[in-house]
Amino acid sequence: MAEAMIEFQSVTKQYQGGQPAVDQLSMSIDRGSITVFVGPSGCGKTTSLRMINRMVEPTSGTITVGGRDVTSVPAAELRRSMGYVMQSSGLMPHRSVVDNIATVPRLNGVSKADARKRAEELLDVVGLDPSLGKRYPSQLSGGQQQRVGVARALAADPPVLLMDEPFSAVDPVVRDELQQELLRLQRDLAKTIVFVTHDIDEATVLGDKVAVFAVGGKLAQYATPEEILRAPASEFVASFVGRDRGFRHLGFTTADGVAVHPVETVTRGGDAGAHPDSWRLVVDEQQRPLGWEGPGLDSQLIPGGSLFRPGDTLRRALDAALSSPSGLGVAVDGDGKVAGVVKGAEVLSVIESARRARQGAL
Amino acid sequence: MEWFLANSPMVFERAGQHLVLALVPMILGLLISIPLAQFSRRHSALRQLVATVSSLLYTIPSLALFIILPPLLGTRILDPLNVIVALTIYAVALLVRAAMDAFDSVDDDLRQAAVAMGYKPAARFLQIDLPLSLPVMFAGLRVVSVSNISLVSVAALLGVGNLGMLFTDGLQRNFVTEVVVGIIAILLLALVMDALLVILERVLTPWTRAGSIGTGAKAQSGAEFLADAKVHAGAGS
């Protein structure tokens, strides 16, 4: 059992003359893990997050961080000990990127030169070119701004990071990159991260544990993402998690048992007969997949589906097969070269045997 | 022109007096308006009151104010202090509303972000709210600058030294050249002050002119993102 870093004890937040925004919340957040608060609008997830750094004061109950009641520390000092990342990057438009990142160290009395030096290092940590440091936030893209927001939150090396829907305003491709980047950072940093989102997919990708909130500020289920998808605790959780939960649950099992078959490939530009009688994979000189040529299609290149990489999950394997025009999911190796293909039916039989194995284990 | 050349020392002296009488109230007005606006902005009843009272203040005729003030302040009618106080009242009347608008123009998300990072209220106000409100604040200051420079000339009727005396003197002597020189001098003074304020604003708010790709970049493509990442990888290796 992991050690608790943040604890809510019967915490209630009630605004004047209304339903409670958070109702008798008791939960324990593990040190060094990512805990995701997820739920529909008005479920109290953001309010709960903001009570941790006292942006919102609870009506009753106590919250402790590292064993200390948060009300025992002056609010400003408490907040400086926690990184905070918000949806609209919240960067100060009148300060350069480097000075934005240096904000909290400067508030803590670190000299300007030292704080800037640290800020420049952090640009590198979050995957940004140090030359961006002199720019103003408005000169960065949305995804870059969010990276700067993360760097700013990390600047004073706080043990706790609070993230309030940080990736919900960027487009899906950038969001995916930022999520992977956060997971990569977390492997090195092992912060205690509390992450708020309304997106159950994001919650299951990022969370070591996921807390599903129901409207009215009640905690509906608090478990690992795998368990929430496999065994929702109530109708509400099941409907919130959505119809695809069976498919998404496949994202927790690696597809090691799925066979990779050889496939006929043809190099682009090479003359290999204009009318193939079966599906052929078109590759470039480095053997990287470009698309498919199909029977009766005049060597016209048809874009391929998603790729299946070593170590990927059953979900990726099945998606590779389902999204491919030939029905064959393209498997690539670590360098992106074609390794072969996976077949949908075989992925399904691996899924079925995984299910049997799980039942046998119960 | 000949008259101006012959009397230029006098004109410059009057212009100097004029500038002091216009500028000092503007600065005092700003110093009073900023805390007043910041305080009353957050209480809707007080905000209404301040907005109404400031409009009413601006409707008081300046001549009336110049005459009422000496008995209230215990000053002599010729004392420039009367003009300073009167124009400070007008400056506050204009600036308190401009300052409230200026503070409203600061994105509340940024205030939240500042609080979340651990800013205390005073530091947040000085380092976040105040600089970010400058663009709107300067719009108000430019109005006050022009308004004050024009109002100062009224004080010439009471005999307080400024460029307006060229009007009163020219009128009494039925000497048009002097009046025209007065008009041109006041106009030039207003233009120079306005230009100085524009330059000051540009110096104080460099970020507002930084080329912005950020607004359109919220929906930036992954390709560009990856290109950035590659640049970075290249720089690291």
Structural domains of chain B sorted by starting position, each given as residue range(s) with its CATH number in brackets: 2-236 (1.10.3720.10)
* Domain formed by A4-244, architecture: 3-Layer(aba) Sandwich (3.40)
Reading the block at residue A251, the tokens are 């994202």
From A53, A90, A144, residue closest to B228, measured CB to CB: A144
Q: Tell me, what's the pLDDT at A242?
A: 78
> Does B232 have pLDDT greater than 90?
no
| B→A interface, C-beta within 8 Å | 107, 109-110, 112-120, 123, 128, 131-132, 205, 207, 210-215, 217-222, 224-226, 228-229, 231-232, 235-236
Q: Which residue in this structure is represented by tokens 């039925």?
A: B174
Q: Tell me, what's the pLDDT at A273?
A: 56
Instruction: Find the closest chain A residue to B131 by CA distance.
Output: A94
Minimum mean pLDDT range among A196-200, A300-304, B166-170, B229-233: B229-233
Q: Which residue in this structure is represented by tokens 């870059």?
A: A144
CA distance B118 to chain A (A): 4
**pLDDT band at residue B227 under the 50/70/90 scheme:** very low
Q: Which residue in this structure is represented by tokens 């952090």?
A: A122
For A276-352, give the CATH class.
alpha beta
Supply angle C-alpha A251, A256, A261, rounded to 5: 115
CA distance B135 to chain A (A): 11
Cβ pairs bridging A and B (under 8 Å): 114
Whether A163 contacts A196, CB under 8 Å: yes
Q: Tell me, what's the pLDDT at A297?
A: 66
What does the alpha-carbon distance between residue A291 and residue A304 come to, in Å, rounded to a whole number? 5
Q: Span B155-168, mean pLDDT? A: 85
From B109, B210, B222, residue closest to A139, measured CB to CB: B210
Judge: A140–B217 Cβ closer than 8 Å, yes or no.
yes
Grouping H, G, I as helix, E, B as strand and the rest as coil, residue A260 is coil
Judge: A86–B118 Cβ closer than 8 Å, yes or no.
no
Q: Tell me, what's the pLDDT at B165?
A: 86
Q: Can you say how many angstroms the Cα of residue A240 is from the centroid of all Cα atoms in its chain? A: 18
pTM here is 0.77
Q: Span B132-145, mean pLDDT? A: 94
Q: Where are the domains of chain A?
A: 4-244, 276-352
> Does B58 have pLDDT greater than 70?
yes
Q: Tell me, what's the pLDDT at A88?
A: 82
Mean pLDDT, chain B, rounded, equals 85
Nearest to A23 by CA among A185, A168, A220, A243: A220
